[in-house]
Each structure stands twice: as C-alpha cells, then as structure tokens.
Structure 1
Amino acid sequence: MDPRLLPQLMEWVVDKYGYSLQDFMAANVTVADATALMALYWPKFVEYQGCVFPGFKFSPEGVDQWLERLPGDLGAVESVVNHVHLWDHFTLTSDAEYAALSELAAQIAIIWRSAARQAFPEREFDISVADGTGGDGPTISLVSI
C-alpha cells in the first residue's frame, strides 16, 4: 500500500518509501480510534452453540435466529454472521482509498487467522477475502472448518 496515493497521508510522506507514522497518528488518531480499530483487526472471538464469532459481530439473539433458519448448518450460520464489509466501517472519499481498503482487507484476514489460531488452537478456520467486485466492497469472512 503506497501512502502517497492516499490524500490524507500525502502530507505525512517523508520520503519515497513511507510516511511518518508517529506524526500522523499523534495528529489524527485518538486512543478511542485505536481501540475501535483493534476490535476489528484483532477481534476477541466468542464461541457459541458450536460456532465462533468475532465479538463485535456477535449477538446471541441474532445468532439464534440464524441457527433456527439454518438448522444443523453451523458453517452457513458463521458465514452469514461473520462476513464483514469493510466499507461499513470506513468512510471512503476517493478511488485510492477504495483500492487501499482492498489491500487492507487482505492484511486484516492475515491478522484474523493469527487471532483465531491463538484463541482456538484446536480448531481450524477458513478466512476469506472478497475484493469487492461483487458490489459489497472488500469483505472478510470467517468460517470454522
């Protein structure tokens, strides 16, 4: 991801290889922002009724409804609940940001894989990324396998 392509980061670029992360964050990112981002990037996972959900996506009532609609198909329930459209979490103002969000989705998926493995070392997960060409924007999904 080239920070020179993102309008908000352009003024923070210090050379052709990067930007001043510390200066940018100190000027633009609050602890609340960082805490919210951490919940998305390294979610606390919840195990419920044989399924695993990122904590920020989990609602017992919502999951129970899907368990009733899709009886016995825990993978389908996880697939429905655990897909995250990144543009629901970020406001995009340029094509460069949309392109960066696709790259960010791939990076978040790598982080989710590590977080899920750490939280449930005995389980395996399929963490997929859709680039958004289907109309839902860059999307990450987690399903137990």
Structure 2
Amino acid sequence: MANDGLSTDGSFTTGALNMGLTQTTSKTTTTSTTMPSNFEGNSLMVRDPLPTWSEPLNISNWGNKCDPPIDRPWLAYLNYHAQPEMIMAIGRLLFPTFIEYGGGVFLEINFSESRFHDWEKKIKAIEKIEAVMNHVHVYDLFMTDNQIDEASFEAVGDLLMHTWQSALEKCYPNRSFKVSISNTEQDYGPVVSFHSS
C-alpha cells in the first residue's frame, strides 16, 4: 500500500482532534479539499472522514526532534510504539459491539439485563435509559500515572463520537441516533454517550 497519506477511500491524510467541549453529531461528516497537482490537467481530491483530527502535539514534537524531521510523525510513532494486538483492541473500542434490548441499543461493554431493569424502574423513556447506560468517561479508559494533556482526553472523546456514529449508521441504517460528547464542570472529564433520536 502506498504510504503517501492519500487514499481513494477517504482514509486519513494528516493532522489530535481539535474539538469544542460540547459537540453532537447526527451524521458522519467529511471534508474534501481540491489541491493542485504537479501533472497538467489533474487535481488531487483529499477526503477526510475525521475533519477535526490533527496530529497530537507530543507526537509532532517527537517527530520534529529527529534528524531529519519525520514526515507524518503520527504514522512513524505507531510504527515504533504500537503492536498489531493493540491496534485490534483499539479498533474494537472505536467500533464497538452493540446489544439490542427492550427497544433500545446499548454498548455491549456497558450492558447487563439487570442494569437495564434497574434503570427502567427509575426512567421510563428508552432514549434516557440508553443515554445513561451508554455513557463512557474517557478518563476511565486510561490507567496511567503519566501526565496527559487535557486536550488529548478531549480528542479521544471526539474520535469516539465520530467512530461510534459511523458504527451505529453501519449497524442500524434505518435508525437514527444522537452521539454526543460533553465536558462540563459536573462531568468527570469528557463523557461520550448516545441514544436513539
């Protein structure tokens, strides 16, 4: 596979997710940019399914310290630090398994029938039960003593929001969902959730 950062299927070009602290999405968005080509009569069309993605600062700094500086440090960083098993596990987090139950759709990692029925006694609306049972605190995904920039946690939340929306659309093309991220003073860091809409 060519390692030029461009793809006919719209995969990543370059660029941590710079996101507002509260976002919602009901459809996956993409950006496209037409760029001049060195070959007469041609133009390059770059499509990005993660339009808010930009390269994490610590990875950019890592790549720039090399001599010569590394082109696309994010890709080289993965090459040096990631293992296939890690990428497979991350892929499952980004594109999770869903459970249908009681008219709702739930993250398999958060679901149990007893938990559903506990919430059903307190909340009657299925959308509200979904929202509660499907919420994930981004902080809880990382057990580390390392100092991590808050923007990185927010970026992970934004990435989850986009990929969960895509996964829901693929699994449930005839249903609509609201996938949201919040990071308010009442939250324990960025929180991602979804519910039927």
TM-score range relative to shorter protein = 0.7 to 0.9
The 1:61/1:35 distance shift into structure 2, 3 A limit, reads: farther
Match of residue 18 from structure 1? 72
The 3-state SS of whatever aligns with 1:123 is coil
Across the aligned residues of Structure 1 and Structure 2, the Cα RMSD in angstroms comes to: 2.5
TM-score (norm 1): 0.81
The 3-state SS of whatever aligns with 1:99 is helix
The 3-state SS of whatever aligns with 2:189 is coil
Cα deviation 1:37-65 (Å, max 9, x = unaligned): 12221112111111101222222222222
- How far apart, CA to CA, are the structure 1 residues paired with 2:151 and 2:71? 19
1:51-130 counterparts in 2 under 5 A? 51-70=104-123, 72-91=124-143, 93-96=146-149, 98-130=150-182
The 3-state SS of whatever aligns with 2:132 is helix
Identify the structure with bigger relative contact order (alpha carbons < 8 Å, sequence gap 6+). 2
Unaligned residue ranges in structure 2 (runs of 5+):
1-15, 17-53
- How far apart, CA to CA, are the structure 1 residues paired with 2:71 and 2:153? 19
TM-score (norm 2): 0.62
Say which one has the larger Rg. Answer: 2
Instruction: From the two aligned structures, give the one with the greater helix fraction.
Output: 1
